[in-house]
Structure 1
């Protein structure tokens, strides 16, 4: 076995034993230009995983935000500071995501309607209201959802929806 193969094998086994040390070792190898010694297979897998993780986090934050906006609009009598906090928190998380990865905004727009459907289900489950209470199309625009000053007005029909 050559020295490079043995180094690569050692780094690959390090991946299973000490992830942080594996990461630092690969970073140093890349900085030193020792590309043949980098654990490329695991490194590529980790990079792909990071992209999926960012997308999943964005989708999760959007769902939670939409669900709370629905609850705010369709159960105004139950509004709490906790709901306001959650709305603010998830807007901040989305804003942070777009600061570090502006290209994810396009993904946000692509999944908006799908996430709204998920939020309808979650809102119905949490409030005990029928899913039919919540419109099949989002009553909120993308801009409103991200607008720190936007809170939905009470629905005219909210009193008759239980």
Structure 2
């Protein structure tokens, strides 16, 4: 049956998921398509990490814009800051171990956010500090807005 289950993976992914779940419930472990199951579990972890990075980049980009383009602040920016901070915090509630990954990728995401902010604002990337001006705990606070006005 493992060969059948492997073929199912390639032809009907949803049915493969249902079948695999049923086999696990019934403890019919000799019929599990372990190779694809392991790959899918690893992909789930990678998806969570990718979502965290994406939310962090967007959040940092909007914090940069909020701080360095005070005259262009909008409720849309405020909403985006709140929304992406909430998404990150919710991810931490579901998977507390993602906090370690957050710390690992924070600086890289900030550098990406500088580039994105430059592209969106038209300001040179060099206009934004090389080192992140926001504390990590502030970034995770959905009510945080950097009110310091710079480069008006």
TM-score computed with the length of structure 1 as normaliser: 0.91
Other-structure match for 1:4 = none
Deviation at 1:96, TM superposition (A): 1.3
Aligned partner of 2:10 in structure 1 is 16
- Distance, in Å, in 2 between the alignment partners of 1:115 and 1:132 is 16
Q: Could you tell me how far apart the structure 2 residues matched to 1:149 and 1:101 are?
A: 22
Residue in 2 that maps onto 1:158: 151
Q: Which residue of 2 aligns with 1:42?
A: 36
Q: Does 1:54 align with 2:30?
A: no
* Contact 1:59 1:115 (C-alpha < 8 Å) held by counterparts: yes
Structure 1 portions without partners, runs of 5+ = 1-6
Partner in structure 1 of residue 134 of structure 2: 140
What is the distance in 1 between the residues matched to 2:20 and 2:142?
41
For structure 2, list consecutive stretches of 5 or more residues without a partner in the other structure: none
1:70-126 CA distances to partner (integer Å, 9 max, x unpaired)?
000000111111111111110111011101110000110111111100000000110
**Mapped contact 1:71–1:127 kept (Cα < 8 A):** yes
Q: How many residues align?
A: 152
Cα-Cα RMSD: 0.9
- Larger-Rg structure: 1
Q: Is the 8 A contact 1:66 1:145 kept in 2?
A: yes
**1:133-152 deviations in whole A, cap 9, x for unaligned?**
10000000100001122100
Give the match for residue 96 of structure 1: 90
- Does the 8 Å CA contact 1:26/1:38 hold for their aligned counterparts? yes
